[in-house]
Structure 1
Amino acid sequence: MTQTTQSYYENLPRVTEFEVLADPACYAPLPDDWVVGVADIVGSTQEIARGRYKTVNTVGAAVISAQLNAAELLRLPYVFGGDGAGFAVWPEQRGAAENALDAVRRWARREFDIELRAAMVTVGEIRAAGHDIRVARYAPAEGVDYAMFSGGGVAWAEDQMKSGALRLPEDGMPDKEPDLSGLSCRWSNLEAKNGAILSLVIKPGVGVSVRAFAKVSRSVIAASDGSGRGGHPVPRQGPNFRFPPVGLSLEAHVSHGARPVWVQKLALLGANLMIWALFRFNIRLGNFSPQNYREEVGHNADFRKFDDGLKMTLDCDAEAQKRIEAVLRAAADKGLIRYGMHAQDEALMTCLVPSATDNTHMHFVDGAAGGYARAAEQLR
């Protein structure tokens, strides 16, 4: 196979230690004919003010869910950003990716009255504009891995989309349903155990080398590791599940299809009552072990990432927060970084679960009161 086929990303090595990913040598250039997609919610600040950040997260995760299902769950690089997402696909997948992205945009508008900006651009076009896009695979656990991006290419595509220079056109066809199989929002919010849930967005300063930014990133990661778990916001034993789940209405909008939403809510109530009983009484069902699954959630969680910068959702005590802020202020004073930070009482998770009986389930973690979106506002 050539480098332009689907296997390119699948063949990249999986890195198991997060701090190693600060090293630019971990990243490989995506082929020129691959296609990058970006999407974000218009007016996410207003949606947060209305108390709809879980909805915002669900729409952001829906972009990824639709792409994975359109690719028949083949491996592709993607990154979750709270109020949006980015991804890349091989050239033969472009048509299916555009259709899936447009379908999510229509679905978000129809189900939630949310406008989703969307754009797609080739890697070659990104490089012609003076930027690069490099990718690595981070494997926090055996069954999952998450893409890490560097080079500024995804950030450039997002900026071009927000300015209106790049836009995925709507095809004028009747509304089509995105395939969001596996997208769920059932877990209870994660309360801060150490003091506060801290959302961080850190970007390199203008003209700062990748190695200089890597040095700052390592210092931030080290400062966050006071508890020995790197500020991991998901408890070792996994999150709690209550009945009815907090995301019941959202999941009904995700999965109702041709059914009325209220009918789907009733169906989900019955299914979630059974799930609650399994977790409450630790009942095994075939190959499904509630205890093992809950523990895997923490191992599989995506709570920190390199996305043309560094993003982290951390459970921090006051001392860890002081250490982190000291590192950030010193680096910002030198012009090495720009950063935003937002503290809140809880984190939330949005999940992609291709199968509940194996360990490939994915869990995107963000602050529950604005998280990455609030932190990113401070970059401006």
Structure 2
Amino acid sequence: MECRWQAIASRYAESVSLIVIGTMPTAIENDAIYLDVIQTLEATYGSRDERHPVAIPKLNLSWLDRDLMGEAKVFVQQRGWRRWRYLWWLRVVNFLGWLLMRFGGSAWQNYRQLVLLTVDFQKFDDGLRMVVSGDAVMRRVLIAYLEQQYRAGNLVYGYRVSDRVVMTCLIFERHGQQVHFVDGANGGYALAARSLKQRLEERQKFSDRAV
């Protein structure tokens, strides 16, 4: 695992880490809810490319400890001078990478494009999980819709707003197979999951009162 990029500023005003879980009785009904959520998202935030949380001009290698420390902790588990030496080595490697992406051959000059194409920012497993970039007006429209669906008993949701995103990178081949997972900075999915849990508990309280 290695991820040597700066935290990535939102393409627009903000990035939203969003989790949506359908609460309908059947899988078919939940699938219909998810489809409606996606259609509302596209009507509000635009196409996949338009709401993508990463843009090439915002993609820059980092020199900061806070961005490089994750890799350093993985490869140098003990604290002390060895870890700090590894951090300085990462800075040297990043400087060489910057030179190659600026002045190297086509493979290196297109490396940011490869990263962009391998960013995983939308997941569909036991629910919808995604990070989208937009502005506050878009978010308010989307959240109003989700709140309406939540009050109707169709879904639960949680979200977290940030001004930037961070990546976790799995590099199998430098110019080939790789995947970059995106999350909002300062909590992202973790805090979105917390707010979703609060809505689940709130819904359960209403259900208990109705019995």
Query: Could you say whether these structures have the same fold, taking a TM-score greater than 0.5 normalized by the shorter chain as the test?
Result: yes
1:370 and 1:257 mapped to 2: Cα distance? 24
Task: Work out the CA distance in 2 between the residues paired with 1:297 and 1:246.
Answer: 21
Q: Percent identity?
A: 31
Q: Which residue of 1 aligns with 2:38?
A: 221
Confirm or deny: 8 A CA contact 2:17 2:189 kept in the other structure: yes
The equivalent position to 1:312 in structure 2, one of 111, 116, 130, is 130
Matched, 1:202 2:20: yes
Deviation at 1:277, TM superposition (A): 1.9
1:333 to 151, 156, 174: 151
For 1:6-34, what per-residue CA distance to the aligned partner results, in whole angstroms no more than 9, with x for missing partners? xxxxxxxxxxxxxxxxxxxxxxxxxxxxx
CA contact (8 A) 2:11 2:58 kept: no
From 80, 83, 95, the equivalent of 1:261 is 83
- Counterparts of 1:129-144 in structure 2 under 5 Å? none
Q: Which residue of 2 aligns with 1:252?
A: 72
Query: Offset of 1:371 from its aligned partner?
Result: 0.5
> Following the alignment from structure 2 to structure 1, what is the Cα–Cα distance between the partners of residues 188 and 174?
27
TM-score after normalising by structure 2: 0.80
Confirm or deny: 8 A CA contact 1:238 1:297 kept in the other structure. Answer: no
Residues 1:293 and 2:111 are matched in the alignment:
yes
- Say yes or no: does 1:274 pair with 2:96: yes
Distance 2:12 2:93 in 1: 34
SS of 1:289 mapped into structure 2: helix
- Letter of the 1:233 partner, please give it: P
Tell me what 1:161 maps to: none
Q: Which amino acid aligns with 2:192?
A: A
CA distance in 1, matches of 2:50, 2:98: 30
2:11 is aligned with 1:193: yes
Q: Answer whether contact 2:11 2:54 (CA < 8 A) is retained.
A: no
| Corresponding residue for residue 205 of structure 2 | none
Once superposed, which parts of structure 1, at least 4 consecutive aligned residues long, lie more than 6 Å away?
Answer: none
* 1:291 to 1:208, Cα distance in 2 relative to 1, 3 A: farther
Pick one of 164, 174, 178 that aligns with 1:346.
164
TM-score (norm 1): 0.47
Structure in which a larger fraction of residues adopt helix = 2
Residue 98 of structure 2 aligns with an amino acid whose one-letter code is: W
Which whole-Å CA distance do the structure 1 matches of 2:77 and 2:160 have between them? 36
1:227/1:236 CA distance change after superposition, 3 Å: farther
Deviation of the 1:246 alpha carbon: 4.8
* Contact 2:166–2:182 (8 Å) recurs in 1: yes
Contact 2:22-2:33 at 8 Å conserved across structures: no
Q: Compute the RMSD of aligned alpha carbons.
A: 2.3
Q: Would the aligned equivalents of 1:301 and 1:363 in 2 still touch at CA under 8 Å?
A: yes
Change (3 A) 1:233 1:270: same
Which structure has more RCO (C-alpha within 8 Å, separation ≥ 6)?
Answer: 2
Show the counterpart of 1:239: 59
- Which digits, 9 at most, give the CA deviation of each residue in 1:251-273, with x for residues without a partner? 11112378932232233232222
| SS of aligned partner of 2:51 | coil
Deviation (angstroms), 1:345: 0.7
Aligned residues: 192
Superposition deviation, residue 201 in structure 1: 1.0
**Among 363, 366, 379, the residue aligned to 2:180:** 363
AA matched with 1:362: V
Change (3 A) 1:327 1:216: farther
CA distance in 1, matches of 2:193, 2:82: 36
CA distance in structure 2 between the partners assigned to 1:208 and 1:236 by the alignment: 42
Q: Which runs of 5+ in 2 are unaligned?
A: 198-211
* Kept after mapping to 2: 8 A contact 1:237/1:294: no
Whether the 8 Å contact between 1:223 and 1:320 is mirrored in structure 2 is: no
